[in-house]
Amino acid sequence: MFLSQLNPQQRESAIVTLGSEHFDVLVIGGGVNGVGAALDAASRGLKVALIESQDIAAGTSSRSSKLIHGGLRYLEQYDFRLVREALHERELLVSTLCPHLVKPVGFLFPLTEKFKERTYVGAGLALYDALRGFQRSLPFHKHLSQKQINEIAPSLRPDIILGAIKYFDAQVDDARHTLSVARTAARHGAIIATRVSAESLIREGKRITGVKAKDLVTGKSISIKADVTVMCAGIWSDELHTKFELQAGYNVTMSKGVHIVLPGSAIKSGAGIILKTPVSVLFIIPWGDKWIVGTTDTPYMGDRAEPLATREDVQYILDQANRVLSPQLNMEEIIGIYAGLRPLVANNKNSSTTKLSREHTVDRPAAGFVSIAGGKYTTYRIMSKDVIDLAVNELRKLTPESVTEKLPLVGADGYFALVQQIDRLAEESGLGAECITHLLNRYGSMISEILTLVKENPSLSKKLTKELPYIKAEIYYAASSEGALSVDDVISRRTHIAFEAKNNGVHLAEAIAEIIAPVLGWSAKERKSSIAAYETLVEREVVALATTLKKSEKVNS
């Protein structure tokens, strides 16, 4: 068994290995599909490497709606196979593969008409329940009266909401889940290196035999040899196909999804809420002591690396939510905002993103090279299996079938037993039951590594800030075991400080840098540089919102 830790020493070793050994499979891309492909291949006994130009989950995989769901709205498109497949994956994640990070969550589907709408929506939810088969980790849907709704969700307007149907899906800490898949791949032998960019392909005749890459930390070039290269680049697919001079069988249309984060006091409800909008659906999702509300679904042609929310995006979300909520949500209540890009497979770039299928596509544009795009977060494991099934055809050896359906991620093993021991763990560690629960729901059985840090250095048991649940040991651990190489990595992906704290957590950047600097071996200059880089990122997001406001004011004046 290999180690799952990702840290500066592991990365340094990985860089050496990338340039000196030959791999069965090289994966390009550290989003959930990329790390999923690396895990699928490594768990089949293949020699695997993965490179990512930024950070694990730096793109779409950390900016989702944080939901694991069957895709209720796909029933209206009669896409029963996709819904059934997604519900099966939801069941696996909640019960077996990742129960510490994927949790059941109840949603209310408000009804504005007593009979016809209840019959139509109720039939859809009955089918939704039926499609999951005999697997029953989540409760069935149930019909609620107006009186019950008033008790459960006082914020739903009683003058227009005449009842509701409650059903269940699941939510996920997406960035942490993606990281857990990556660490599980490493545990099974995958060589993983972030901040490594694929620059060009290595060819022998018409066959792709590897990648010429660049270590973005040192600037050095690396030639990585592999029998098959698997590209899981999401929104970067078209750009990389062009860069590699490959003619793909598909192109990717980008759709921007924006979410806002509100304090728990903004909405009084004991369950999440789902609303149909003119173009899609809007989710009001409980997130600890906060709410995540979104999302938008608009065509996007801007900078892939930095999708920014505009004031128009935010206003759309507020307007849609305020159709059913009282008191009304307002801009001043917003704690955080984040934007992500969905990679939707399309044959025609002029297609409307709201009508494109969420099905995924695997492609083989050249011998020794395969790629995948599209799909949805919930079915990442299926997509990873499909692309590796295609990739192994390039190998000159028999390869076992995928085993990821029965392979729990790091932290899952023993999680349910540890939940029964929260009081004992709290007493032994001195952290308190609330803190232990928080840690279990982020690290699962890997909590032992956090508790060891606290035991060795009691100062790490202190909270980073009283407003948030994170303790300093988590910040240290992000760099020592989870591959964080910058302040942004910690604030935006190892934690959710970027959208859970006011001003994107800029005021915490100095304290975070102080904790991770010794782990990363930073000089004073490097520490300041990482803080400044995060501050600049936040400033650009703030400017994007302010610029749209100025344009709006000019139009209305």
**DSSP string for residues in 304-363:** TT-----HHHHHHHHHHHHTTBSSPP-GGG--EEEEEEEEEEESSTTS-GGGS---EEEE
pTM of the model: 0.93
Query: Do 326 and 358 fall within a single domain?
Result: no
Q: Which domain holds residue 112?
A: 62-172+253-352
Q: Tell me, yes or no, whether 1 lies in a domain.
A: no
Residues 189 and 335 in one domain: no
**DSSP assigned state of 121:** H
549 falls in which pLDDT band (50, 70, 90)? very low
Confidence category of residue 141, pLDDT binned at 50, 70, 90: confident
330 within domain boundaries: yes
Residue 548 in this model has a pLDDT that exceeds 60? no
pLDDT at 80 over 80: no
User: For position 355, what pLDDT does the model report?
Assistant: 47
CA distance 185 to 192: 9
For 27-47, how does the pLDDT look when each residue is reduced to its tens digit (9 = 90+)? Answer: 999 999 999 999 999 999 999
Q: Which distant-in-sequence residues (6+ apart) come within 8 Å of 477 by Cβ?
A: 449, 450, 453
N-term to C-term CA, the chain: 66
pLDDT of residue 9: 96
User: From CA 488, how far away is CA 495, in angstroms rounded?
Assistant: 10
Sort strands 251-263 and 336-346 into parallel, antiparallel or unpaired: antiparallel
Domain harbouring 505, CATH code:
1.10.8
Rg (CA), the chain: 23
Residue 273 sits in the same domain as residue 380: no
Query: Do 523 and 419 share a structural domain?
Result: yes
pLDDT given at position 555: 34
Asked whether residue 359 falls in the same domain as residue 240, the answer is yes
DSSP β-ladder status, 22-28 and 221-231: parallel
**Of the residues 352, 369, 384, the one at which a domain ends:** 352
Residues 84 and 129 in one domain: yes
Specify the 3-state DSSP secondary structure of 111: strand
Q: Does a structural domain hold residue 550?
A: no
Section 339-356 average pLDDT: 66
* Average pLDDT, integer, range 503-528: 97
Query: What average pLDDT does this structure show over 526-536?
Result: 97
Q: Are 109 and 153 members of one domain?
A: yes
What does the pLDDT read at residue 532? 97
Spatial distance between the Cα atoms of 129 and 344, rounded to a whole number of angstroms: 27
Task: Let me know whether 343 and 481 are in one domain.
Answer: no
Please name which of 530, 469, 525 lies closest in space to residue 497, comparing C-alpha atoms. 469
In this structure, the answer to whether residues 142 and 282 fall within a common structural domain is: yes
Residue 2 located in a structural domain: no
Phi, psi of 283 (to 5 degrees): -105, 135
70 and 90 Cβ atoms separated by less than 8 Å: yes
Q: Rounded mean pLDDT of 88-116?
A: 91
Is 551 within the bounds of a domain?
A: no
Determine the pLDDT at residue 224.
Answer: 98
pLDDT tier for residue 134 given thresholds of 50, 70 and 90: low
Query: Taking all residues of the chain, what is their mean pLDDT, rounded to a whole number?
Result: 91
In 76-152, at which residue ranges do the beta strands (DSSP E only) sit?
A: 102-111, 142-144
Percentage of the chain lying above the pLDDT 70 cut: 94
Q: Are residues 399 and 462 in the same domain?
A: no
- Does residue 557 sit within a domain? no
Question: With bands split at pLDDT 50, 70 and 90, how would you rate the model's confidence at 352?
Answer: very low
- Does 553 reside within a domain? no
Would you say residue 120 lies in a domain?
yes
Average pLDDT over residues 301-326: 91
* Neighbour-count burial for 535-552, b at 16+ CB within 10 Å, e otherwise: eebbeebeebbeebeeee
Residue from 28, 10, 12, 394 nearest 211 by CA: 28
Please tell me the total count of domains within the chain: 3
Q: How confident is the model at residue 78 (pLDDT cuts 50, 70, 90)?
A: low
Please tell me whether residues 257 and 240 are part of one structural domain: no
- CATH of residue 216's domain is 3.50.50.60
Indicate whether 83 and 222 sit together in one domain.
no
CATH of residue 343: 3.30.9.10
Q: Which residue has the higher pLDDT, 84 or 205?
A: 205
Confidence of residue 547 (pLDDT cuts 50, 70, 90): low
